[in-house]
Amino acid sequence: RAGARGAAMEPECRVLSIQSHVVRGYVGNKAATFPLQVLGFEVDTVNSVQFSNHTGYAHWKGQVLNSDELHELYEGLKLNKVNRYDYVLTGYTRDTSFLAMVVDIVQELKQQNPNLVYVCDPVMGDKWNGEGSMYVPKDLLPVYRDKVVPVADIITPNQFEAELLTGRKIYTEKDALEVMDMLHAMGPETVVITSSDLQAPLGNDYLIALGSHRKTKADGTRITQRIRMESPKVDAVFVGTGDLFAAMLLAWTHKHPNNLKVACEKTVSAMQHVLQRTIKSAKVQAGEGNKPNSAQLELRMVQSKKDIENPEIIVKATVL
């Protein structure tokens, strides 16, 4: 029991998570809060939208929070002097003024606590069959590139988003490493390209993710740790996986601050456990020969509690 007692003595670690909320299912804050809480973090959520469900369903209804309303909520925290955070976590946003307000809040929180870590998933678009397209308004790109990424400490773009942010295409692993260096130069210490269409050494059934952690030591020398991970592809369209990934990466980099390899192995392995459980369950629900629908493909989050807390490592990272 000594381990459990030791864990209980850890100082409180508090995350401000500004993401979307759905009544039913797991995306945004609904995908990030449970894993963070299970892993011992206090999570304060600002719901950037409140929808009945994610927009992959046939119908959705709900409300959107604007930047003034975000500011008002933050003012309330400030007036009570409870605006001290260890982490800020953000994901999908559609509005430039909302995103600019997030940057203002992060900068103010960093003045409060210079050690605050901002984890940003710069959600802008993705590739389908090799073709990239943006699913947020185009005018978000300069805000992410010029304002958000420079104040972020950890970013989790996919390949398409990394290319958008740097203006450089990735064709090879060498290109990807150079793009991650360009992203480091913009501000973040940790860059994880969460998915790419690079050829995996293990074959076509695997998806490559790449990570890079750059630290400047006290004497000014730089050390960079770089890793590659190959995860088995799961043949289904899941929603909320990026939000879950960013939340777990926040938790595991906190617990293994100088070991990106272990942090990513735990994150990606837990991801795999959740996705495998989800697809298995969805197929049972859909019935033999039927394609699972959006409701059946909602992440099996609660059922995966043990895997999130203590993931068996099933995806190993290669140090580059």
Residue 164 domain-assigned (yes or no): yes
Q: What is the pLDDT of residue 218?
A: 86
- If DSSP codes are grouped into helix, strand and coil, which group holds residue 113? coil
Residue 106 domain-assigned (yes or no): yes
**What domain range includes position 81?**
14-285+293-319
Query: For 242-253, how does the pLDDT look when each residue is reduced to its tens digit (9 = 90+)?
Result: 999 999 999 999
Residue 223 domain-assigned (yes or no): yes
Reply yes or no on whether the pLDDT at 125 is more than 80: yes
Reply yes or no on whether the pLDDT at 3 is more than 90: no
Residue 200 domain-assigned (yes or no): yes
* Longest Cα–Cα distance in the chain: 62
Residue 4 domain-assigned (yes or no): no
The average confidence (pLDDT) of the chain is 95
Residue 251 domain-assigned (yes or no): yes
Question: What is the Cα–Cα distance from 100 to 67, expressed in whole angstroms?
Answer: 8
Q: How many domains does the chain have?
A: 1
Mean pLDDT in residue range 290-298: 96
Reply yes or no on whether the pLDDT at 306 is more than 60: yes
Q: What is the pLDDT of residue 272?
A: 97
Q: What is the pLDDT of residue 1?
A: 47
pTM (predicted TM-score) = 0.95
* Interhelix angle 67-79/96-112, nearest 10 degrees: 20
Query: For 147-161, how does the pLDDT look when each residue is reduced to its tens digit (9 = 90+)?
Result: 999 999 999 999 999
Catalytic residues: 243
Residues ≥6 apart with Cβ < 8 Å to 142: none
Q: What is the pLDDT of residue 9?
A: 65
Residue 5 domain-assigned (yes or no): no
CATH, residue 90? 3.40.1190.20
CB 132 within 8 A of CB 163: yes
Q: What is the pLDDT of residue 4?
A: 54
Q: What is the pLDDT of residue 7?
A: 53
Residue 108 domain-assigned (yes or no): yes
